[in-house]
Structure 1
Amino acid sequence: MTDKIRVIVADDHDCVRAGVRRLLHATPHIEIAGEACNTHDLAELLDVCECDIVISDIGMPGLDGASNAVPFLRRVLRGHAHPAVVVLTMICHAHMMSGLLHLGVSAIVDKRDTTAALIDAIQAALTGGVYLSEQVRVAMETTDTPPQLRASVLSAREWEIFQLYVQGVAVHEIAKRLQRSGKTISTRKRTAMRKLGLETESDLIDYARKIGLI
């Protein structure tokens, strides 16, 4: 490989960035295009630095002041020709991980896993694959209602209905907007909840908040 993989590293802990920096510097085909300690700095870096991969924590200060970078990463992943996103985190909640995959995150690496996992995640993200490190995979496989990978969880229409509903759009309004019956919308909403392992409205709202939809 002649062209190096350009990576931006974002984490609010200096020791984590230092560890990732050391690892990537020892990998010949990867170069660090920039570092950020919060979401604001990450946003500024993405405006001025070309990169292929963003490695980001999700529990760092967000643009709205909360300690949640997910809403910003969601906006990045909606952009045209966006970089791939690798999440590096200590949060190993199965539904949270599933939600990140739904948003388009390419890889999730638990900070407790080996350093080799991060290199594997970068390679997978670069080729359009989906990668989960060992701790993340175990957490997702051992939950009572294990979420699936993003390609098989919700259909595009189920995901659209789910997003509209958690953003406060009533079922009858969604039905009118999508030109479907209220019964169809309700059925697809229930199907989406079942696939995500969500049983109650409270579970649904909590899940949506964790992945930055509300």
Structure 2
Amino acid sequence: MSATAQETLAGLRDVLGHAEGENRLVPRIAAGQAPRSVLAALAGEQYRVISSDWRSLLHLAARAEAPAAKQYFSTLAAGEGIALERVVQFAAAAGLDEAALKAYQPLPGCQAYPAYQAWLALNGDITAVILALNVNFGAWGEYCGTVSAALAEHYGFDETGRGFFDFFAAPAPQLLELAMEAVQAGLDAGESTAAAHGYGRLLQAYELSFWNTLDDQVR
């Protein structure tokens, strides 16, 4: 019997999860040991990540043929619009007004993730991309929850200033359900998910590159 969408995703998460200690920056933020300057840089980088990912997700929605996949990517893209507003609020709390945010010069190691997502939007197998994104969303959501708590405890950020991270840290069972519906439709149609491991491996690596590149800047 073929694996279900849920079983396929669980198997990928088992082999592609981040090992403890690989992310160097989030634990420093969690302990209040990272300087406030790195928070401003984090905002500047995420402003560009979200802007790029929004376009990538819209392109994936346009490429997808199955209705469930179209709806999934369209829903994700709508979330990026909300996230972009919230990252501007986070930047303001970190000391960057919108002009400074737009003038910020990004670091190559931080922008590898959105660059690869743009590649996936152009070239990726749709069902495999959905699986790979959902592997990475687990790690990203955990990091966001940790950072939000630290911003409140150690850096004095209010709810608005933390809203960007709270948005991604909050459980989204309906979104996962939609993703699994899209993946199952792909599996039922005989689509291969063989590429999902490679996509997920690179997304996870670029996720770590994002955080660790920032960490390198403040050592």
Shorter chain as normaliser: what TM range?
under 0.3
**Larger % of helix: which?**
2
Calculate the TM-score normalised by the size of structure 1: 0.28
With CA pairs under 8 Å and 6+ residues apart, which has the higher RCO, 1 or 2? 2
Calculate the TM-score normalised by the size of structure 2: 0.27
